[in-house]
Amino acid sequence: MGMQFLDMGRSSLCRLVIVFIVIHVLLIHQSKGLNSEGQYLLDIKSNLGDKFNHLGNWDPNDPTPCGWKGVNCSTIDVYNPVVQSLNLSALNLSGFLSPSIGGLVHLTTLDLSFNGLSRDIPKEIGNCSSLEVLNLNDNKFEAQIPKELGTLSFLTTLNIYNNRLSGPFPDEIGNLSSLSQFLAYSNNISGSLPSSLGNLKRLTSFRAGQNLLTGGLPSIIGSCESLEYLGLAQNALTGELPKEIGKLKNLKELILWENQLSGLIPVELSNCTNLSILALYDNKFVGRVPKELGNLINLTKLYLYRNQLNGTIPKEIGNLSFAEQIDFSENMLSGEIPVELSKIKGLSLLYLFENQLTGVIPVELTTLKNLTKLDLSINYLTGPIPMGFQYLTELIMFQLFDNKLSGGIPQKLGAYSPLWVLDLSDNQLMGRIPRHLCRNSNLIFLNLGLNKLSGGIPSGITNCKSLVQLLLVGNSLTGSLPSDLCKLVNLSAVDLGQNKFNGPIPPEIGNCRSLQRLQLSYNYFTSELPREIGNLSRLAIFNISSNNLTGRIPPEIFNCKMLQRLDLSRNRFMENLPGEVGTLSQLELLKLSDNSLSGTIPPAMGNLLRLTELQMGGNSFNGNIPAQLGALSSLQIALNLSYNNLSGAIPSELGNIVLLEYLVLNNNHLRGQIPGSFANLSSLLGCNFSYNDLTGPIPSLPRLDNMAVSSFIENNGLCGGPLGGCNPTPSSLSLQPNAKDKGEHVELYIKLSYLVAMSLLLRSLHPTGREITMSTTASVPKF
């Protein structure tokens, strides 16, 4: 019993001793203060900006940093905790990363992403030999990637994207034998890709797009046997795509768009049967689309657009049974659209626009029930639009413009689908506009211009509240301008030019408060222009030329301060031109020709400093040419004041318009001499001073000497220059043309400016499918 008691006493004593030792050790450690890793962290903190005080609990009086925000520790033994991970992601930190980071030799994870750290990545980070994950992305790191990163043999994840890093990839990157994910896109990294990349046998994802990389894609990339994602878009890579790419059996995404890669698309790509996304667009690939691409049975997105590919579309593409999006647009492909495309039942996007395709649109395409976007524009397709398209329930974008299609538009188009873009312009379509296009209230863009359509605008269009642009130019449409259009609060562009519309322009036009472009030229509109037009505060383009409008130009139109192009020519407007015209500070084009305007030309027009073309011929303006017009320093295309009743001298100030190409002053009552200041008109291509009362010698200027004699005739006192001397001979008088109708004399100049305007108009009506549709193309990995 005594021995038992003694043993119990010894046991208690041992426990007391152990407790004493532990307390003693803890007291000793506490007396030593913060450990070395904590000191390194405090130095790191001292170089950071922390305006939200996220690191406020980093207390230097703590024995270890293990309780600090973002710090996680592990224990080597019971007395020695070490920092294993440091996560300071998205804390709005600024400043720079101290070289003291190299002291944290036990780190396995370092995450400083989504901050504002700058300067360079310290080379001392290479001392963190246990690092497995390094996230420095979304900062402002600069300078080169330190080669010391190549010593991190355990590193599996390296994310340095969205920074300002420059210089080349160091060759030492190839030493990262454990690396699986390497994301370096959106930097300023330059130079060639290092061949040492081929050493990275475990690399599954390499994305370095949106950099300044040059040179070719090294063939050694085929040695990255685990690679699944390769993204190098938006660089300046050149050369051919190496056939060794076919060795990447695990590759799922190949993203190489917007480089300068050339040569043929290698058939070896067909060996990458796990590919789901192939994006080679916006390069310089030539030759045929390899039929072997039909072997990529897992492909969902195939983007080859904007290259220089030729030949036909292989029928084998129809074997891509899982494809959802196919874009071969902006190439030089020829032949017919293969009917085999109809076998791809899940196809939602098919873009073949801007090629040289011929033949008819295969009716089999109407069986693609999942089709949402179809663009076959800018080809040579003929025949009718297959009626089956009107029954596709998912169709939202349908573009066939600039072909040679004939027949009628399917009348139920839009009845069963949420159609929002329809462009069938520049074909040979006939019949009426379908009335169901906006049944589902989604239509925003409708362009049926340059066809042979007849009848009126159906109420289903004029009541389409979602409509933003209505473009029907160049048809044979009839009826009046629908007043209901002005209830469409989103409507920004209306072009009904070159049709057979008639009647007055309704005052309700003033309710179209969102209108930026209104073009009604070459119709039969009558009566006066309503003053409510002045309510269109956003109007930038207004063209109502070649109609039968009468009365005064309403001063209210000059309330449209955003006007850039104003064309009122070839109507019957009369009386004075309001001086308020000079307040249109954004105006670039003004056409008032062939009306019955009278009075003097407002001197305030000299304030139109952005004006590039001024056409005022064929009116009854009188008085002097305002010297203020010489301030129109941007005037380039033409200054046409012909066929008026202008008198007085030609202002020498017009010689200040040094960009001017055409100066047309004929058929007035101008007197005096041609100013010598016209020597400044170095850009002048044509002029006409004929049929005035000018006198004196024609200035000996190269630009005037090269003009035709007809530019100076019928000025009784004018001599010299192309007239051949200051004593006119009968032969020179015989060159006088018959003074016919004033419109015929300015026809050349009117046609010239009209053709320029029509060219701009047609460009606006026929943007490439890419410009209309890119915002709605399903997204692919950027880099």
pLDDT confidence of residue 416: 96
pLDDT confidence of residue 84: 96
User: Domain 575-723 classified CATH 3.80.10.10?
Assistant: yes
721 or 421, greater pLDDT: 421
Residue linked to tokens 């004699």 = 709
Parts of the chain belonging to CATH 3.80.10.10? 34-141, 142-286, 575-723
Dihedral sign from CA coordinates of 463, 465, 466, 468: positive
Q: Which tens digits make up the pLDDT trace of 588-647?
A: 999 999 999 999 999 999 999 999 999 999 999 999 999 999 999 999 999 999 999 999
Superfamily of domain 142-286: Ribonuclease Inhibitor (3.80.10.10)
Contact assessment for residue 704 and residue 721, using Cβ atoms and an 8 Å cutoff: yes
Q: What is the pLDDT averaged over residues 764-783?
A: 41
Cα(690)–Cα(161) distance, integer angstroms: 69
pLDDT at 445 over 50: yes
Confidence of residue 741 (pLDDT cuts 50, 70, 90): very low
Cα(162)–Cα(575) distance, integer angstroms: 63
Sequence-separated contacts (24+) of 124-129 with Cβ below 8 Å:
124/99, 124/100, 124/148, 125/97, 125/101, 125/149, 126/102, 126/150, 126/151, 126/152, 127/102, 127/103, 128/101, 128/102, 128/104, 128/152, 129/105, 129/153, 129/154
Q: What is the pLDDT averaged over residues 752-773?
A: 38
Lowest mean pLDDT among 2-6, 308-312, 388-392, 693-697: 2-6
What is the CB-side half-sphere exposure of residue 175 using CA atoms within 13 A? 11
Cα(457)–Cα(310) distance, integer angstroms: 41
Residues pairing with 144 in the sheet: 166
pLDDT confidence of residue 254: 98
pLDDT confidence of residue 77: 67
Q: How far from 114 is each of 54, 162, 201, 207, 525, CA to CA, in Å?
A: 14, 9, 29, 18, 61
CATH tag for 34-141 (out of 3.10.310.30, 3.60.70.12, 3.40.50.300, 3.80.10.10)? 3.80.10.10
Q: Which tens digits make up the pLDDT trace of 220-248?
A: 999 999 999 999 999 999 999 999 999 99
Q: Which tens digits make up the pLDDT trace of 35-47?
A: 999 999 999 999 9
Confidence of residue 78 (pLDDT cuts 50, 70, 90): low
pLDDT at 779 over 90: no
Mark out the alpha helices in 513-557 (DSSP H runs): none
Q: Which tens digits make up the pLDDT trace of 492-522?
A: 999 999 999 999 999 999 998 899 999 999 9
pLDDT at 656 over 90: yes
Confidence of residue 776 (pLDDT cuts 50, 70, 90): very low
Contact assessment for residue 200 and residue 176, using Cβ atoms and an 8 Å cutoff: yes
